[in-house]
Amino acid sequence: MVLNFGHRFPTAIKQIKRCNVLVIGSTGAGKSTLISSMLNLPISDSVTKSISNPPDQKPGLPIAIYDTPGLENNKKQQDRVKEEIAKFIKERKYKEPEDQIHAIWYCVNSQVAREKLIDRGWISSIAKELPVIAVITRASGVEKSWLEPFLRGISEIKQVIPVMALREKTPHYDIKPYGLDSLLFGTEHLLEEIAKTAILNAIKSKADQSLGWCRDGCTKVLAARVLPVPMMPIPLVVATLQTLMLADISKTFGYNLDWKFLSELCAIGIGIDTGIEVELAQILKKLPGVNYDNIQTVHDVLSQFGVMLNGMTATLPFKDQLIDLLQGLDNFNPVSGFPILRCIAAVTTALCTGFLAVAYIETMKKCKQAEYEGKPLPEIKEILKDQMQQLMEVIKIGFGIGSIPAFAS
């Protein structure tokens, strides 16, 4: 069976390359023995002192198993090990799909006599992040009385699998190894779910990192508008800054796109021909509570815009990013106290830049998803145009303004 691991889910295995399992449980539960038997590795009798890294593997097998130190009775040691395990999982959570931890084998010795010895709270917290399989080790049959039904009753545990990793011979019984195949079979059944989550985690981390570039781009554009560079035409400076921002976002997603293509994307996104900036200026002017006859500040406009976004019932895919962006702009000291009449154009351009960034991040997410899933890359220009249009439509609906004209293609 070991040799067949993953064969029934080839697409998932292709996406995550190998299934990374972390084996946890009390000290002496039989974690290291389980791993040795599973992968036919020499058995070490010693107590495991730290998480095994690199993991144990067998050439040609798409599974990698990390051994961990066991939880002893002493509370201080338990907390230290739990912390080490949590950190290990967290550090890998947003890496590439193949570098994340994908599943947990939680080992419980069949001899465990009391419920109190099962760390339910710990398992529940881990199960929020990763699928957990409970492995009853040295299962000689005694577990049938209460341990197995008890573990099956814990809803966060996906499966309960009894195993005997080494032959166990006592005056009362002689049990040959069993259950290792079932454990692999059970783990294999989680592969599709595992691959999906791993891809989502990897994409989310790239999108989160890209928000830094979005904020950076908007702030620079705002600065360029408010404090122009001498001898440099503002539109050229703005377009350059926007192109740089898209280049940085692309790189965060692992794509190196050439400058010409990126500047074409900027032109599509901002819709030079379709006047998104004009539309946006209209929206800003119609914000309730903003009165252009009075001396109002950029801060007033941004906070009104934020209130509107927050209260919008229509689903806006980028809502959180936009609210975050508005706060970033608001904290940009050089302009937050300026009278709005001096700044309206600058705020409009900065917001357009932000819309371009969030629409582009959504575009990159779709490309990355296709790449991870082994599908052909979608047409970037088409998706960006679509995302930008959706964004503007939703904002206009949210602000009670009629539909904008369709994009010129």
Ligand X SMILES: Nc1nc2c(ncn2[C@@H]2O[C@H](COP(=O)(O)OP(=O)(O)OP(=O)(O)O)[C@@H](O)[C@H]2O)c(=O)[nH]1
| Stretch of 11-19, 21-29, 233-241, 299-307 contacting ligand X, by CB under 6 A | 21-29
Least separation in angstroms between residue 173's CB and ligand X is: 11
> Which positions from 329 to 368 touch ligand X by CB under 6 A, shown as an x/- string?
----------------------------------------
Which of 18, 27, 98, 200 binds ligand X (CB under 6 A)? It is 27
Q: Does 47 participate in binding ligand X (rule CB under 6 A)?
A: yes
CA distance 67 to 31: 7
Least separation in angstroms between residue 94's CB and ligand X is: 28
Tokens 């990355």 map to which residue? 368
Question: CA torsion, points 189, 190, 196, 197, in degrees to nearest 10?
Answer: 180
Site for ligand X in 150-189 (CB under 6 A): 164-166, 168
Q: Which is nearer to Mg ion, 48 or 263 (CB)?
A: 48
Q: Which does 30 bind (CB under 5 to 8 A by kind): ligand X, Mg ion, none?
A: ligand X
Q: Which residues pair with 392 in a beta bridge?
A: none
Site for Mg ion in 84-103 (CB under 5 A): none
Q: Does 110 participate in binding ligand X (rule CB under 6 A)?
A: no
Q: Does 201 participate in binding Mg ion (rule CB under 5 A)?
A: no
Which of 39, 41, 48, 394 binds Mg ion (CB under 5 A)? It is 48
Q: Which does 164 bind (CB under 5 to 8 A by kind): ligand X, Mg ion, none?
A: ligand X
| Stretch of 30-38, 253-261, 295-303, 401-409 contacting ligand X, by CB under 6 A | 30-38
Q: Which does 27 bind (CB under 5 to 8 A by kind): Mg ion, ligand X, none?
A: ligand X
Q: Strand, helix or coil at 404?
A: coil
C-alpha neighbours within 13 Å on the C-beta side of residue 138: 15
Least separation in angstroms between residue 52's CB and ligand X is: 10
CB-closest chain residue to ligand X? 70
DSSP string, 97-120: GGGS--EEEEEEETT---GGGS-H
Kind of pairing, strands 19-25 and 63-67?
Answer: parallel
Q: Measured in Å, how far apart are the chain's first and last C-alpha atoms?
A: 55
CA distance 162 to 28: 16
C-alpha neighbours within 13 Å on the C-beta side of residue 339: 7
Closest CA relative to residue 140, chosen from 156, 162, 160, 120: 162
Contact status, residue 401 vs residue 312, Cβ threshold 8 Å: no
Q: Which does 174 bind (CB under 5 to 8 A by kind): Mg ion, ligand X, none?
A: none
Contact status, residue 156 vs residue 134, Cβ threshold 8 Å: no
Least separation in angstroms between residue 130's CB and Mg ion is: 20
Least separation in angstroms between residue 361's CB and ligand X is: 43
DSSP letter, residue 290? -
CA distance 19 to 41: 18
Q: Does 268 participate in binding ligand X (rule CB under 6 A)?
A: no
Q: Which does 137 bind (CB under 5 to 8 A by kind): ligand X, Mg ion, none?
A: ligand X
Q: Which residues pair with 107 in a beta bridge?
A: 25, 135
| Stretch of 23-31, 225-233, 252-260, 302-310 contacting ligand X, by CB under 6 A | 23-31
Residues comprising the chain, all counted: 409
Least separation in angstroms between residue 23's CB and ligand X is: 8
Q: Does 137 participate in binding ligand X (rule CB under 6 A)?
A: yes
Contacts of 154 (CB under 8 A, 6+ apart): 120, 123, 124, 134
CA distance 259 to 322: 26
Tokens 């296709």 map to which residue? 370
Q: Strand, helix or coil at 295?
A: coil
Q: Which does 258 bind (CB under 5 to 8 A by kind): ligand X, Mg ion, none?
A: none
Phi, psi of 259, rounded to the nearest 5 degrees: -60, -40
Which of 20, 32, 321, 348 binds Mg ion (CB under 5 A)? It is 32
One-letter identity of residue 245: M
**Residues near Mg ion (CB under 5 A):** 31-32, 48
**Residues near ligand X (CB under 6 A):** 27-33, 45, 47-48, 69-70, 137-138, 164-166, 168
